[in-house]
Amino acid sequence: MSSTHEVRPGQSIELLKELHILTRDGKMNQDSRRKLKQVYHLFQFIEPLLREVKDAKDVVSLVDHGAGKSYLGFILYDLFFKDLKDISHIYGIETREELVTSSTALAERLGFPGMSFLNLSVADSITSPALPETIDVVTALHACNTATDDAIHFALAKRAQHIVLVPCCQAEVASVLRKHKGRLLAGNPMTEIWRHPLHTREFGSQLTNVLRCLQLEAHGYQVSVTELVGWEHSMKNELIIAQYKDLPRRRPAERLQQVLESVGLEELGERFFTSATATPT
């Protein structure tokens, strides 16, 4: 049975075959069906942000960090950017050179001129001359550990209007919690929350995202956190959407500092820098 009824109107069947979501005869297996459902679900969140930028300034730029095989980038381009017929652009940032090469070739094959792929780390992309000074929308889906924070730093440096994050395995905060656990256990009963190793990991993951939200708020963003429906196979189904509204920064900056101090994470102040402190180079 054909699976084209599950494909959005206007979606290129040829693209879905190139991405191996559809087989050559238009069929779809369970894994591909789930992958497509996930990307479409994300598209529902991102499309209104793209429209808002387009209405405000006519041309849209988007950077996708940790792009992988660029499923999201290609589908965003096919369903939104392709019809704009202007100089709007998607940049895919990926550390694996072979994926950059294959995505570049695929964009050429499909006739998607407004797509570029760069073989860079997220951190290096902040200063790379290959990217414009400002970017409208920044996405980072399952950028592992501190790569999500680097994507936030990139978005802040590029004065992004919208930031869409699906955080992934994050170990840095948990390792710092672990390091200071002994010192804090005696004086702070709240330390019981992360006394056991499993709880350290899970609390560290939760706390990391709380700090990220506070950091974004401390730079004037309005932040919403929701769950990605249809990602049941993955524990990492948290979606953080930040929109720049020039909101008051002082209270979230103070709160962030208080949280760091209360759980012994002062040494991470530079990673979760606020607008009151300098952006790290």
- The pLDDT tens digits for 137-161 are 999 987 776 788 899 999 999 999 9
How far is 72 from 206, CA to CA, in rounded Å?
25
Q: Indicate the residue type of 47.
A: E
Q: How far is CA 99 from the centre of its chain?
A: 18
Q: Indicate the residue type of 30.
A: Q
276 band by pLDDT with thresholds 50, 70 and 90: low
Do residues 272 and 215 make contact, with C-beta atoms less than 8 angstroms apart? yes
pTM of the model: 0.91
> pLDDT value at position 235?
54
Do residues 152 and 163 make contact, with C-beta atoms less than 8 angstroms apart? yes
Long-range contacts of 222-227 (CB under 8 A, 24+ apart): 222/247
- Residue 182, pLDDT above cutoff 80: no
Minimum mean pLDDT among 23-37, 147-161, 203-217: which range? 23-37
Minimum mean pLDDT among 172-176, 228-232, 236-240: which range? 228-232
CB within 8 Å of 235: residues ≥ 6 apart: none
Q: Which residue has the higher pLDDT, 231 or 197?
A: 197
> pLDDT value at position 3?
56
Q: Are strands 238-244 and 221-227 parallel, antiparallel or unpaired?
A: antiparallel
Do residues 225 and 238 make contact, with C-beta atoms less than 8 angstroms apart? yes
| Burial letters 75-87, b for 16+ CB under 10 A, else e | bbbbbbbbeeeee
Q: Is 24 exposed, middle or buried (0-12, 13-18, 19+ CB in 10 A)?
A: exposed
